[in-house]
């Protein structure tokens, strides 16, 4: 009996060693546009740690922050070309190559909260629609994380649409530049890590950067004494998108871990952000920062400009199909007429 047990034990150990020897590993180089000290940057770091732990160490993610490898707008192409493996910025950075990407990142006021956006992605064919576009550029869309509505920061009051006239501000590329320009503002596209200096030197009057908590992390309210809360103009989704060949070569189990982990990240970041923003807004008010909650008629004027911008921006079949999918979902949910 002892010999049999010993034999079984030796066999089990040998099988285990053999399995370990042939275990598949995945190593991915990923860049996010957030700096490591911000809330979103820390969330990305925790996500990478969680993925490594859930995979038993078989997935190793090397994270890069704040345009440390390439500029934020170049991250997608860097993944396509093999400089990186995955892009953790946002689809709207790619509108220069295809305007359809706008409708994979931010509808500029179409959705009111992250749960609506995630509902479209997970339950209304959103993932498949997005990947039709991404795959055509040799990338695989893995998932979204949507922190929540963003707040503008400004050295001048931003009480209503009228205050946007001649307002110079940092804008992300894409639909935002069109919408705000139509409202009389002067958008200037610049990288995330250039905003503080541009505000400090007076190159810009304000910034469309992030939510109030992230804006604090960027130091923007050290200069800008005006903001709007709660936000309404933008709610971008930050994606995880990977080189298509790299993705296709990964084990199915690793793909599933990354997909599900992004859903977990989306829930965590949206709930954490809502809690943090409410606290941050109180702290900013106590420090003398002016917070503006826009009236219904001003919001309606802004959203009319957004709808016009959608129609102008959707200039190809994929863009029109994505926009229609969003609108159909919002109308079906009673969130849009």
243: closest CA among 128, 95, 98, 78?
Answer: 78
Hey, CA dihedral for 251, 252, 253, 256, is it positive or negative? positive
Distance of CA 110 to the CA centre of its chain: 16
Residue 80 · residue 243 · CB < 8 Å: yes
Residue 56 · residue 24 · CB < 8 Å: no
pLDDT less than 70: residues of the chain: 1-23
| Domains assigned to the chain | 25-148+236-275 (3.40.190.170), 152-235+288-332 (3.40.190.170)
The pLDDT, as a whole number, for residue 53 is: 97
pLDDT in tens, 235-284: 999 999 999 999 999 999 999 999 999 999 999 999 999 999 999 999 99
pLDDT in tens, 281-306: 999 999 999 999 999 899 888 888 88
What is d(CA 218, CA 222) in angstroms, rounded to the nearest whole number? 9
The pLDDT, as a whole number, for residue 300 is: 86
55: closest CA among 98, 11, 89, 25?
Answer: 25
* 3-state secondary structure string across the chain: CHHHHHHHHHHHHHHHHHHHHCCCCEEEEEEECCCCCCHHHHHHHHHHHHHHHHCCCCEEEEEECCCCCCCHHHHHHHHHCCCCCEEECCHHHHCCCCHHHHHHCCCCCCCCCHHHHHHHHHHCCHHHHHHHHHHCCCEEEEEEECCCCCEEEECCCCCCHHHHCCCEEEECCCHHHHHHHHCCCEEEECCHHHHHHHHHCCCCCEEEEECHHHHHHCCHHHCCCEEECCCCCCCCCEEEEEEHHHHHCCCHHHHHHHHHHHHHHHHHHHHHHHHHHHHHHHHHHHCCCEEECCCHHHHHHHHHHHHHHHHHHCCCHHHHHHHHHHHHHHHHCCCCC
What is d(CA 234, CA 237) in angstroms, rounded to the nearest whole number? 10
The pLDDT, as a whole number, for residue 335 is: 84
Residue 116 · residue 270 · CB < 8 Å: no
Residues composing the chain: 337
């Amino acid at each position: 009996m002892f010999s049999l047990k010993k034999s079984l034990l030796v066999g089990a150990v040998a099988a285990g060693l053999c399995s370990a020897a042939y275990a598949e590993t995945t190593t991915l180089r990923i860049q996010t546009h957030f700096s490591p000290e911000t809330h979103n940057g820390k969330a990305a770091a925790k996500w990478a740690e969680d993925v490594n732990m859930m995979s038993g160490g078989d997935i190793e993610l090397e994270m890069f922050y704040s345009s440390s490898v390439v500029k934020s707008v170049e991250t997608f192409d860097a993944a396509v070309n093999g400089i990186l493996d995955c892009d953790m910025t946002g689809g709207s950075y790619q509108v220069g190559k295809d305007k359809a990407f706008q409708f994979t990142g931010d509808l500029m006021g179409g959705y009111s909260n992250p749960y609506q956006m995630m509902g479209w992605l997970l339950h209304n064919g959103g993932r498949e629609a997005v990947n039709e576009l991404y795959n055509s550029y040799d990338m695989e869309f893995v998932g979204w994380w949507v922190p929540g509505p963003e707040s503008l920061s400004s050295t001048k009051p931003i009480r209503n649409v009228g205050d946007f006239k001649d307002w110079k501000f940092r804008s992300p590329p894409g639909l935002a530049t069109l919408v705000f320009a139509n409202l009389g503002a002067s958008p200037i596209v610049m990288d995330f890590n250039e905003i503080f200096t541009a505000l400090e030197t007076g190159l810009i009057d304000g910034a469309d950067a992030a939510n109030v908590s992230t804006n604090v992390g960027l130091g923007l309210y050290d200069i800008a004494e005006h903001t709007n809360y709660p936000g309404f103009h933008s709610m971008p989704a930050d994606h995880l998108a990977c080189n298509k060949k790299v993705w296709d070569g990964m084990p199915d189990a690793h793909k599933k871990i990354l997909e599900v982990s992004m859903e977990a990240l989306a829930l965590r970041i949206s709930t954490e952000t809502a809690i943090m923003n409410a606290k941050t807004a109180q702290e900013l008010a106590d420090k003398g920062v002016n917070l503006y909650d826009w009236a219904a008629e001003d919001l309606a004027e802004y959203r009319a400009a957004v709808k016009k911008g959608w129609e102008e921006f959707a200039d190809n079949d994929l863009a029109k199909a994505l926009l229609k999918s969003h609108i159909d979902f919002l109308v079906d949910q009673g969130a849009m007429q």
